[in-house]
A and B are shown apart, each in its own frame.
Chain A
Amino acid sequence: MTAWPAVTTGPATGVDLAVVAEGVSRTYRSSGGDVHALRDVSFAVPRGQLVALVGRSGSGKTTLLNCVGGLDRPTSGRVVVGGQEVTALDERGRTRLRRDELAFVFQTFGLVPMLSAAENVGLPMRLRRVAPAEREARVAHLLELVGLAPHAAQRPSELSGGQQQRVAIARALANSPRLLIADEPTGQLDAETGATIMALLRSVVRSEQMTAIISTHDASLMAMADRTLRLADGRLVEDTGA
């Protein structure tokens, strides 16, 4: 994997930036009129930072993460991830970006129900056609990392919510992404489990030297994060790292 070149544009010039958002707006057209989910959001995240994205329900967190991750396209504005302008990429480019450069962790875990934990973790590596031996070694390593080695053969329906989310995290790490995007990873978990998941996330982000943007309602994560971005009504109202 090549090192990311320094981003030469953006407000924080000279710093190695992982994510840059410039004037990002997202307007949904719906039957009840236009919904301005994001309004002119700008920020930059340097490499290696763990950012907590907070805000009330409906404030636009998911929308922002989707726009950063290339699952959604902003109505206006620019998103640059690792030097690649996501907003300028076509569908194919964004898919490649998701495959090679970043990884998602969803509130609903997003595991493929018919596959075992190990197979779910191996999915991203199959996308990159990693050799089976290497793939299996890394899957074992990752499951070890998230503490699920004994449950490798179980399917999602046979795992608890917390275990499922750990599998999702292991899968997210599979291709050693530079950027981890997690949308309320603890949303469906009880407080205690949520805390362990958050701890796990934090430790893997640190150990793998990733950049991470994690949306949450969880105060404990805010404490763990290097920086907090707060959204309200689609506007960035607070940026502790700015």
Chain B
Amino acid sequence: MRRQRRGVLTWLLRLVRHRSWAQVRLLAVAGLVALLVAAEVATLAVLAGTSERLGVPATLLADAGRTRLTLTIGGLDRPLPEVVAHAERALTETLGVPVTTEVQATSPMYDVARPGKWLPGYAYVDRRDGVEDAAEIVAGTWPTSWAGGDAPVPVAVPAGGARALGIDLGETWTLEAQRDDGTDVVVRVVGLYDVPAPDDDHWSRDRLGGVGYEPDYPVPFSAGFLTTEAVGPFVVSAEAADAGAFEVRRAVVRADPDLTGVRAGDLPRLRRAVAGLAEEVAFRLEDDAGEVGLGSALSRVLREAATGVVVTRAGVAVATVLLLLVAVAALLQSARLVSEARAAEHDLLRARGASRGQVLAAVTLEAALLGVGVAALAPPIGLLGVRLLGGPLADAVADPLRDPLGALRALPGTAWAAGGIVAALLVVVSVVPLLRAPATFVEGQQARGRRGRRGSLARLAADLVAVGAAALGWTQLRAYGGLLVGSGERLAVDPVLAVGPALLLLAAALVGVRVLPLAGAALERLARRGRGLVVPLAGWDVGRRSHHAGAAVLLLTLAIGASTFGLTQRATWQRSQEDQAAFVVGPPVVVEDAHTAAVDARALAVAGADPQPVLRDDARVVRRTADEGGEAVSGMGVELVAAPGPARATLDRGRLADEGGTEVAALPAAPPSGGVPLGDDVLGLQATVEISGRLLHEATALSLRAILEDEAGALSTVSLGQRTALETEEQVAALLPDVRLPVAPESQQASADALAEAVAGRSALRLVGVQAFLVATDNALLWAPWESYDLTVEVRDLAVLRPAGDVAAVPAERWASGLTLDAARAGIVADPLEIPAGGWTPIGDAMGGEKTAMLGDGARLHFIGTVNLLPEAPAIGALVAWEPVEDVPAVLTADLVERLRDATTRGFEIRVSQAAVRAVVADVVPWIPATSGGSAVAVDHTTLARAVLQRGGLGPFVDEWWVDAADPEAYLAALPPDLDGTPRAARATSIDGAVAASLEHPVRVAVPLVLALLALGGALVAGIGFVVHTAVTVRERDLELAQLRAVGLTRGRLTAALALESGMLAGLGVVLGVGTGAGVAALVGHLLVVAPDGGPPIPPVELVVPPTVGWLAAGIVAVVAALTLAVAAAQRTADPASLLRAGDGR
């Protein structure tokens, strides 16, 4: 029994070897196609695996700030240390990863005495973990322990604030509680510190943003019109805070989860945990604190990582299914050709008595042997493929040439599975034609002669099924709306999405191939009427042997279609990434810089660039109510882009122009202003202020500001102080907000240098206005009866403060206590201003017209009226050197217009920079570039700034600069570091940089590679398939060709006829393939392109059919040309005599 079985096996093996030898070339081609596709699919698997392995950590670990969890705890019911411990445990247990924490606890605001000032200063006390790294001690030490009880609490105070309030090292101060039930805190100053980088994340939750001192800190209930000096934080040690040195108003626990070990597979669980984290933590801390808030971008980061994984997987799935479809078509072609070529042989075997099962077994064995080879070779080749592709992913896989074993071991299981699947396909496809084979020898002989109606009916049915399935898939996919990633439960790719493109391609190709008989028929009709033979020969062959031609065209269509889909999808994907990056960034380069205009305009003007000041901020849009009272009923948060004309012009380009850029660029620019030039070495302003007339109430103050404009057109204000006293003359002086005088200069020379440096590289300024407003300083006024007032403010002897430039003029002893404005007076000259009387316009409801005017050396503002001085509605007056702005023309997004409803016709208000300005709709667009794509408003920068200043707003109006750099890279390289010495380029974003970062991100970088591989695989299979088809059919017809030559057909014409035939088939295949491939990409391609967070991209995906598709077509033409040459060469050597002699007996 055993022996016998072995006998059968050896027989089969011998049979296989024997038979294979005859058709070895066809088998080799089938094996080659299978290996090619298997290796490609394995490459895709390795790419996807590597991309996930690198991309997930790269996304999660890129920016600790984004994965940080910020737990804000207010109303503490338990001691700080206990609450913090509970919070830590809650986070660690819920997330399932270790968490490191830093605590910042802050006190309420305390009053601190300011001798000689009518308002006290403000101060606050903090525990700040990690402050030692975020600040530098300039005198004394960081506080350590606290004795407790009544002992003063040791604190470190910001040096700038200490100087301003006259606080010195070693002094003891009392911070008075502002609330009646509060406790005063007595502190002893043990250290003075400086914050080199206030924009460090450490200071993001600080009241003063890390600057330590704010001369214009808004007084509560004055809506910012009334300000005082604030200083802080007074930093105490952690132990002191834990021991209850001060009342904790709010604690911030910054928790950094350790995400280094997180893999793609952990993402769903982690996302679920983060989704419920806020609730879970609040629940766990219920007994510890009154309010618990959790702020974090972690869920967004996780979503981005998951999106990256799913997008790559979806791309791989789609490409794999398409490649498999093409592979099946190619293998079917080879299998059919092999089985046709062998039909006689099989029949002979069967005639000799081999059973059908044995023939089947032989073929299966043979296919299985090939399949094993394919399955074993494909994964290592795939690995090599990834390394050949280069880039970050290539470096991350082991080199199979240097370390073969390690590389094999590191191969993902999916790569082996890919090889196995293709091998299995190879076997199935080889065997299936035999299963359908007729049962007996005679039937086989007969079947080959006819092509029955049943066959064509079956084909029609198959076509209909494919079209139906494709239609079903298409309707399913349409319902998607472009969202790949759901709420995050799974990372799986929807099977409909994976199979959809392949189904659509197959259906389109099947329908397309039905053109072939029609084309043949048309040619035949031509042939019947024509004289020649070349065209008819080609036509006859295409029309009458259409099953051969049809199979070839189908394979070509599928392969070229898959390739075109790959190329088109790749170009579309890349273009969309570029469009998205450009949309978010806006101009070629954005430099974030919140410093005031005067410093930056010149510092950023390097490499020939002309930086433009831009305000990109959150604003509120308020619609007016129906009754004209103007009471706001509803406000909605929007993104505001306020940019000057040249900056807006950069949006009127390419895709941005279509997505709203043109309309934004078309907003009218503000007309130029007049004013008085101040020069480019301005340190500050000085004036004499006198108020006369009748004030409404004692608790009323008048606030005065000068309005300046820089070379770039950016407006800013300088406070000239707040006055309460009537009928007194007072000299006031103010430095520009960004002028920093050095702490404790070492010498006279250093002092003079410091002053010179403070104005170095500044933009020239102009005085373009004086602004004053009258505000209540006491809440009691809210209930005061309406009264009239009539007062005049005179600002005289206006002078510009500039460095004297004379070292000798600075007496050495004046510097000892630090360089304050008063102390520096000797090194500064006050340069009187001459102000023209004309060109100024008074503004404000409360302005008494004719008395308000510019004087030769200053301004006079006359306030008159009976207005109650609600903090939101102070009496505002100004003299400005520009045409007053009535309504600000604004471009709105369509969804904002929708939300505003009828308000667009009635008018609406934009609230920004503490002012509400009236606006009108200039245009409505779907999106506004340089926003995140939601509700947004775009306005002209200067127009908005003027309108805000007219309404009493303060600015600042610049938080970033737009640079239209021709060569962004060169520009970024030329950018100097900022005042703190940090490189500005680090805060700059260019479109090019954003595009590169987006395309090269490990989580996304695999997608274009996958699509390129699909394109390559399709093109190769198309080429191979067509060569095989041509070779086999020409070989099959060699007798026929010899007969034609015997009849007198020249070699040239014969070659021409064959070339025409190939050309027709190839042409049809290319047209159908490119058409269906691009069509499928147009139908479903956009579903595979998403924004980083998985949502639909903005601007929407636009189909890009790249020129490489032309190269694909050219490649196929080249293949046809090469085939024609080969056929011609074969005809030259072919010997018709011996072919004819052999005759039918072959």
Contacts and interface: CB of A to CB of B under 8 A. Distances in A.
Interface residues of B, number: 28
Interface string A115-134: 10001000110110111100
A92 interface: yes
A114 B543 CA distance: 10
Interface in A126-152: 126-127, 129-132, 135
Interface string B528-544: 11111100100011001
A111 B1044 CA distance: 9
Nearest to A73: B1137
B1044 A132 contact: no
Contacts of A126: 531-533, 536
Given A71-B1137, A95-B1049, A157-B449, A129 B532 contact: yes
Residue from the set A91, A95, A107 with the largest chain B CB neighbour count within 10 Å: A95
Interface stretch (A49-57, A79-87, A97-105, A225-233): A97-105
A124 B1047 contact: yes
A89 interface: no
A104 B1047 contact: yes
A112 interface: yes
A148 to B, nearest CB: 18
B531 A129 contact: yes
Contacts of A69: 1046
A241 interface: no
A72 interface: yes
Contact of B1040 (A104, A107, A113, A157): A113
B533 A127 contact: yes
B544 to A, nearest CB: 4
A95 B1043 contact: no
A130 B1048 contact: no
A98 to B, nearest CB: 4
B1043 A110 contact: yes
A95 B1144 contact: no
Given A108-B1143, A126-B536, A171 B544 contact: no
Contacts of B532: 126, 129
A178 to B, nearest CB: 14
B1058 to A, nearest CB: 14
A132 B528 contact: yes
The residue among B533, B1045, B1046 with the most chain A CB atoms within 10 A of its own CB is B1046
Interface string B1117-1146: 000000000000000000011001101100
A163 to B, nearest CB: 16
Contact of B531 (A113, A119, A131): A131
Contacts of B533: 123, 126-127
A71 B1048 CA distance: 10
Interface string B543-564: 0110000000000000000000
A66 interface: yes
B814 interface: no
A129 B1045 CA distance: 16
Nearest to A119: B540
B163 interface: no
Contact of A132 (B529, B544, B545, B1043): B529
Nearest to A127: B1048
B1144 A108 contact: yes
A100 B1140 contact: no
A127 B1053 CA distance: 10
Contact of B1137 (A72, A95, A99): A72
Nearest to B528: A132
Contacts of A115: 540
Given A72-B1137, A126-B533, A114 B1048 contact: no
A68 B531 CA distance: 29
Given A110-B1140, A126-B533, A95 B1045 contact: yes
B1051 interface: yes
A66 B533 CA distance: 24
B174 interface: no
- The majority secondary structure among interface residues of chain B is helix
A96 interface: yes
Contact of A91 (B529, B1051, B1141): B1051
Contact of A104 (B1046, B1049, B1050): B1046
A154 interface: no
B751 to A, nearest CB: 104
B545 A98 contact: no
A92 B1050 CA distance: 7
A72 B1138 CA distance: 9
A62 interface: yes
Nearest to B1049: A127
Nearest to A175: B1048
A62 B1050 contact: no
Residue from B529, B532, B1051, B1140 having most chain A Cβ neighbours under 10 A: B1140
A98 B1048 contact: yes
Contact of B1143 (A106, A112, A114): A106
B1143 A71 contact: no
Contacts of B1140: 71, 106, 108, 110
A185 to B, nearest CB: 13
B545 A114 contact: yes
A215 B355 CA distance: 44
Most buried by B among A110, A113, A171: A110
Given A92-B1050, A114-B540, A129-B531, A123 B1141 contact: no
A113 B1051 CA distance: 20
Nearest to B1046: A104
A107 B1047 contact: no
Contacts of B1048: 95-96, 98-100, 124, 127
Nearest to B1140: A106
Contacts of B1050: 92, 95-96
Nearest to B1044: A112
11 contacts: A66-B1137, A95-B1045, A95-B1049, A96-B1048, A99-B1048, A107-B1143, A114-B540, A123-B533, A124-B1048, A132-B531, A135-B531
Interface of A: 62, 66, 69, 71-72, 91-92, 95-96, 98-100, 103-104, 106-108, 110-115, 119, 123-124, 126-127, 129-132, 135, 157, 171
Interface of B: 449, 528-533, 536, 540-541, 544-545, 1040, 1043-1051, 1136-1137, 1140-1141, 1143-1144
Given A107-B1143, A119-B540, 20 more contacts: A62-B1141, A72-B1137, A91-B1051, A95-B1045, A95-B1048, A98-B1048, A104-B1046, A106-B1140, A110-B1047, A112-B1040, A114-B540, A114-B541, A114-B544, A115-B540, A126-B532, A127-B1049, A129-B532, A130-B531, A131-B531, A132-B529
Q: Which 8 A-B pairs have the closest CB atoms?
A: A99-B1048, A108-B1143, A126-B533, A110-B1043, A129-B531, A98-B1048, A71-B1137, A72-B1137
